[in-house]
Amino acid sequence: MENKRWYKDMVFYQIWPRSFKDGNGDGMGDLWGVLEKLDYIKSLGCDGVWFSPIYPSPGADCGYDIADYIDIAPEFGGMEAFKAVLEGVHDRGMKLVMDLVVNHTSDEHEWFQKSRRRIEPYTDYYIWRPAKQNGKMPNNWQSNFEGPAWEWDEVRGEYYLHLFAVKQPDLNMDNPLVREEVKKIMKFWLDMGVDGFREDVITYISKKKGLPDDHLFPIYKGMPHYNHGPHVHEYLEEFKHDVLDHYDCVTLAEAPLVSPKRALEYIDEENGQIDMMIQFQCQCADCLFTDWLPTKFSLRRLKKAFSDWQYKLEGRSWNVLYLENHDHPRIISRYGSEKFRCESGKTLAVSYLFQKGTPFVYQGQEIGMLNWRPSSPDMYEDVHTKNHYANSNTKHTQEERLRKLWRSSRDSARTPVQWDDSENAGFTTGTPWFYVNENYKKINVAAEEKDPDSLLNFYRKAIALRKSLKVVREGTYKEHFHSSSKLYVYSRECAGQKLLVVCSFADKDIKMKCPRGFDLSNGKLILQSHNGSCDDMLKPYESRVYLWE
């Protein structure tokens, strides 16, 4: 089927279901809650929804450990609620994208239970290896969640590979039967009417033959042998050819540590196997490869990441634009300023919403939710955070270790959405499954709805503008003043329209800079974070967008 590429006109909203909205009072976000809030999502100007996993799961990795791919977890409302949501989304002219997690399953999945007992045809569904001499593990690979990537299984008497948690065994994608299962899953949801998939760590699905030891990588040991592995393109092509090409759907691949050049091997519009890619470079302006190796925030690094992807994909593919998701702490707490919460939230919004690509907004980002900072390490839920804490250096003080968790844990961004200032932030009438950020009395949707200058209303304005301008969809991108460590300035240009975007990341007044060839005196100021400000000084974290047509 001819790909209509409708996703290029869209803005997606990411729902991390357990913390979005509880509809039945059991303390856990669910699909009934989503149904209540579809109009809210639409009111932002978002017309696509990406759901983090909502399948039955023991919850070892908050749903990314799937026990049944063709059902919806009862705690989220089951299939009945899902169908209601799907209909509600489509009735509003929106699209729905599911998370497809097929690098691994839960160890409670029936396939794994049968595989460990060598029941056919499941025996080779996973990556099993006997122990080496003296019971040693098959190789030196490390899990992405820390610790060894192998777990001994008493039942089978062999090790299995898990690139994530112990309860997330990796599937053996080299087995054609496993690929048939993946295709069945895709078909099942597409036939029901879903509009596409976000494919979890899909660049990991093919491991190098012989699973050799890794002597190269200091962190994520083993990664060179499974990221972009030998058959990954072949398998993705098979999924595309046998299933995806027969539906009008979109695919976005999550790809840790991918460069634009490598990405094009997957997403080139001429011959790629996937439509778009979620890259991590834009998440590394304040860390080295991972949030767990923090560094000082560098605007130059952020700009380089943005511009690299804009320039290198130009004319060949399409960007995913994002700043937040469920895997990273809140962006204002990282790249902005909590003191200038609203202002820096606005400049961050402008910094990415006017680039070329399809933007994603993560729940709570639009109201400027901040990092959660619990008083004790015991309050964390996330498996990666717990592993990290257990392995972390006990020579550091308790306080230092806790601060590191605040700064780096995914749980910092997983607290319930703050809907209003009532008990539990209006998230649930029951006991919330997770802690609500104490700042909810001040930071919540209801309060921001009432304030015309709120971040929430600014997101609405910015998204509406983005959608109304041809130059934002089609124009070429150019960065200006790239050596500035406080200003991010870029322009977009297409026949008949020119756009200039200026974002200050300074916490004091700084001088506005205008690139050559742009005459501000005849440009129209179409969006600004600070009402009435128009002189050549920018207030802290001020942003402006000018248009010529």
Task: Give catalytic residue positions.
Answer: 200, 254
d(CA 148, CA 362): 31
One residue of 64, 247, 306, 434 binding ligand NOJ per CB under 6 A: 64
In the complex, least distance from residue 61 CB atom to ligand NOJ, rounded to whole angstroms: 5
In the complex, least distance from residue 103 CB atom to ligand NOJ, rounded to whole angstroms: 7
d(CA 57, CA 109): 9
Whose Cβ is closer to ligand NOJ: residue 65's or residue 542's?
A: 65
Note whether 55 binds ligand NOJ by CB under 6 A: no
# residues near ligand NOJ by CB under 6 A: 9
Token pair listed for 117: 């007992």
d(CA 176, CA 357): 34
Whose Cβ is closer to ligand NOJ: residue 58's or residue 515's?
A: 58
Per-residue buried b or exposed e for 462-491, using 16+ beta carbons within 10 Å of the residue's own CB: bbebbeebebbeebebebbeeebebbbbbb
Any residues with CB less than 8 A from the CB of 400 and at least 6 apart, and which?
none
Token pair listed for 327: 């895997």
One residue of 30, 47, 61, 275 binding ligand NOJ per CB under 6 A: 61
Q: C-alpha angle 55/59/62, rounded to 5°? A: 85
Contact 404, 392 (CB under 8 A): yes
In the complex, least distance from residue 101 CB atom to ligand NOJ, rounded to whole angstroms: 5
In the complex, least distance from residue 206 CB atom to ligand NOJ, rounded to whole angstroms: 16
Note whether 201 binds ligand NOJ by CB under 6 A: yes
One residue of 112, 150, 159, 164 binding ligand NOJ per CB under 6 A: 164
Rule CB under 6 A: which of 208-267 touch ligand NOJ? Answer: 254
The interface mask with ligand NOJ, positions 88-117, x = CB under 6 A, is: -------------x----------------
Contact 317, 267 (CB under 8 A): yes
Note whether 75 binds ligand NOJ by CB under 6 A: no
The interface mask with ligand NOJ, positions 287-326, x = CB under 6 A, is: ---------------------------------------x
In this structure, the chain runs to a length of 549
Phi/psi of residue 239, nearest 5 degrees: -65, -40
HSE toward the beta carbon, residue 492, CA cutoff 13 A: 25
One residue of 200, 286, 324, 366 binding ligand NOJ per CB under 6 A: 200
Which residues sit at the interface with ligand NOJ, rule CB under 6 A? 61, 64, 101, 164, 200-201, 254, 326-327
